[in-house]
Amino acid sequence: MKNDNLLACEIVHRIRGRIRIKSKAFKYIGASLKTEIEKQLVQVRYIESVEISLITGTILIYFEDVSLSEQNLINLIQNTLNSHIFEICKNEKIEKSSKYVIERKLQEETPGEIIKKIITTAGLLGYNLFFKSKQEVVATGIRRFLNYNTLSTLALAMPVLKNGINSLVKNKRPNADTLSSSAIISSILLGKESAALTIMFLEEVSELLTVYTMEKTRGAIKDMLSVGESYVWKEISEDNVKRVPIEEIQKDDIIVVQTGEKISVDGKIIKGEALIDQSSITGEYMPLKKAEGETVYAGTIVKNGNISILAEKVGDDRTVSRIIKLVEDANFNKADIQNYADTFSAQLIPLNFILAGIVYASTRSITKAMSMLVIDYSCGIRLSTAVAFSAAINTAAKNGILVKGSNFIEELSKAETVIFDKTGTITEGKPKVQSIEVFDNSMSENEMIGLAGAAEEQSSHPLATAIMTEIKDRGIEIPKHSKIKTVVSRGVETKVGKGKEAKVIRVGSKKYMLENNVNLTAAIDAERGIISRGEIGLYIAQDDKIIGLIGVSDPPRENIKKAINRLRNYGVDDIVLLTGDLRQQAETIASRMSIDRYESELLPEDKAKNILKFQSKGSNVIMIGDGVNDAPALSYANVGVALGSTRTDVAMEAADITITQDNPLLVPGIIGLSKNTVKTIKENFAMVIGLNTFALVLGATGILAPIYASVLHNSTTILVVLNSLKLLKYDIKTN
């Protein structure tokens, strides 16, 4: 579970007016958050004082109201901690990651830099094998190191040597580079620079493949989240604009954006107005009119108009740039299997030193002992997970799926329960007119809809939008009307016509009609049909007479039923619908989609509670929502998936995986990719352990010389990296 165990509280002791509560979360709040939470709790009227211990993970509360139950106090603590859950989770991940050995951050090197190292190492290796002089071979003592050949070898090995020693000093544990360093130094001491260079060359080849995968992943993510133009128009003076690279734009600069261009900064409009498509950021599918003084975001598009924007956030401060950084820094989000691989490989490293000591003690052969240092499981085991997950995240990004960490790939592979939100997730989130009934024989269907449009013309309600869309599709002319009156939660009304012939047109709910003494007898049968189809009924009345009934519903997304069927094929045996909509609409959509069960009329916090309830029964829960009002549920689920173009800050922060395309088939697609990734990692484990064990046996018996042991070991590492790279070709859309 992601947060349930973290927020679980237990009473350590309680006496009158005093209680101590223990929670794992208190160990991860940090000093600054500790002070903030203490201040927050002291403001509660019945609390006198609060003291949090980061060491014991407890909170001591003195309170006045002795009638308070233990559950009241626990709920208060959990609600307070929940408001800081993102920071607490991040601190927990940071602390967990510190338990693992220090490894070089390969993502900080570019493929070009590693290729240069490979060429240099290969050149030096060729020199040692074919051109090395006898005088260099017989050099002894300090002279052994004071030659260009040895010094060049040590210089090339410096990153490995430095990190190997660093792990011993800082982490008090050896890592893969510690082992490689021992083998390299031993080879140099024995005058076998060629063996040391062979080790380095093969390691660099495997690193190149790893970094190449990481680089492709970063590129795919940046392409997917492209936030603006490469060049923008900067206002130099009132009558002068200049085209400059986006990198040159600073805070408080003014940029000019015209029709069809993408906005490249977060800022405020200081001149002009425009119709702006914000769907990539806010999820609103209708473009909005923005005028002077209003805020605009990088990544949105000017559909019509010209505006001047005062830049407030540029470069890495922009909303989407922060998201890219968040994904690139997803090292904290390691999968359990990756952490297991890191820990397992770290524990095997001392074994190599022990084996080297045993072999040397029994054979007195430094050469045979060196074979034990050259061959290690750790490198292959670590890369077998790191490259596989990186390749999977890359493949996902190329298909418009943003994955924040490898742990979510593994969690997806174990999915048992998938929970869907309804509006905007299973359905399109764009209500449409589905059925029309006319009860006045003297009136045509288009005339009745036109009258409804007269009342709804100025409303921004989704149901009004559905009627206005239908009017535009049919090319209906809306009759002239008077000022529109809105009755909140009931309906709207206006007058059509002039003088004594003016008619009052009302559009709204059944309750609104009854409150205005409209006779609904003619609509009884049509009303039953609308209810049975799960549509929302909009009643249209002229004075006190019902003239029509329009059924509006939010249609299911294309391919959503197919996506649900594929989920079942991947072993998901429990599909649930949680929605804030009315029971009738939830029941209808659940029946049409063959969903196992549903709950309706839920608030966002109710959805989160349902997630915890499923998790408490041992289910691995995937929550799929639109990422806005589903933020609490997305956060509490084992994996939160935001589906569609809804990409607000809240969505990106709460969701672990964001599917930026309106294609539900990508949900089973990413689950299929996750299962394939875990399968690939297990194959890699088998290859690494099997081949390296074989090499260790041959090395201990002297059959395999150190240089050939190094070739076999590093070939195994390259093999598992290549096996992982097959995930780059995985077809998410058809699997």
| C-alpha–C-alpha distance, residues 193 and 201, integer Å | 12
Q: Which two tokens stand for residue 554?
A: 């939010």
Kindly write down the DSSP assignment for every residue of 621-642, as one continuous string: EEEEE-SSTTHHHHHHSSEEEE
For strand 301-313 and strand 432-438, is the pairing parallel, antiparallel, or unpaired?
Answer: unpaired
| C-alpha–C-alpha distance, residues 349 and 153, integer Å | 24
Contact 642, 634 (CB under 8 A): yes
| C-alpha–C-alpha distance, residues 717 and 689, integer Å | 11
Phi, psi of 567 (to 5 degrees): -60, -40
Helices (H), 84-192: 85-97, 111-130, 134-138, 148-170, 176-189
Three-state secondary structure call for residue 433: strand
Catalytic residue among 177, 277, 421, 554: 421
Q: Which two tokens stand for residue 248?
A: 């040159």
What contacts 686, CB < 8 A, 6 or more positions away? none
Pick from 475, 459, 439: nearest CA to 550: 439
| C-alpha–C-alpha distance, residues 133 and 10, integer Å | 73
Pick from 228, 310, 231, 232: nearest CA to 272: 310
| C-alpha–C-alpha distance, residues 231 and 226, integer Å | 13
Q: Which residue has the tokens 């590693």?
A: 114
Pick from 634, 667, 663, 666: nearest CA to 650: 634
Pick from 561, 566, 565, 575: nearest CA to 416: 575
Contact 300, 318 (CB under 8 A): no
| C-alpha–C-alpha distance, residues 686 and 14, integer Å | 53
What's the gap between Cα 217 and its chain centre?
14
Identify each DSSP E strand in 178-264 by its residue range.
231-237, 240-245, 254-257
Pick from 56, 163, 48, 78: nearest CA to 609: 78
Pick from 424, 394, 398, 420: nearest CA to 409: 394
| C-alpha–C-alpha distance, residues 385 and 378, integer Å | 11
Verify whether residue 421 is a known catalytic residue: yes
| C-alpha–C-alpha distance, residues 58 and 55, integer Å | 8
Q: Which two tokens stand for residue 132?
A: 């090395």
| C-alpha–C-alpha distance, residues 23 and 1, integer Å | 15
DSSP state, 424?
I
Contact 373, 182 (CB under 8 A): yes
- Residue 22: how many other CB atoms lie within 10 Å: 18
| C-alpha–C-alpha distance, residues 500 and 495, integer Å | 11
| C-alpha–C-alpha distance, residues 382 and 211, integer Å | 14
- Residue 472: how many other CB atoms lie within 10 Å: 10
What CA–CA distances, in Å, run from 188 to 149, 151, 162, 183, 197? 10, 10, 16, 9, 10
Contact 664, 325 (CB under 8 A): no
Burial of 409 per CB tally in 10 Å (0-12, 13-18, 19+): buried
Question: Which residues, listed in sequence order, are joined to residue 624 by a DSSP beta bridge?
Answer: 420, 641
Q: Which two tokens stand for residue 687?
A: 């290859």
Q: Which two tokens stand for residue 257?
A: 């954006």
Question: Which residues, listed in sequence order, are joined to residue 272 by a DSSP beta bridge?
Answer: 307
Three-state secondary structure call for residue 52: strand
Instruction: Name the residues annotated as catalytic.
Output: 421
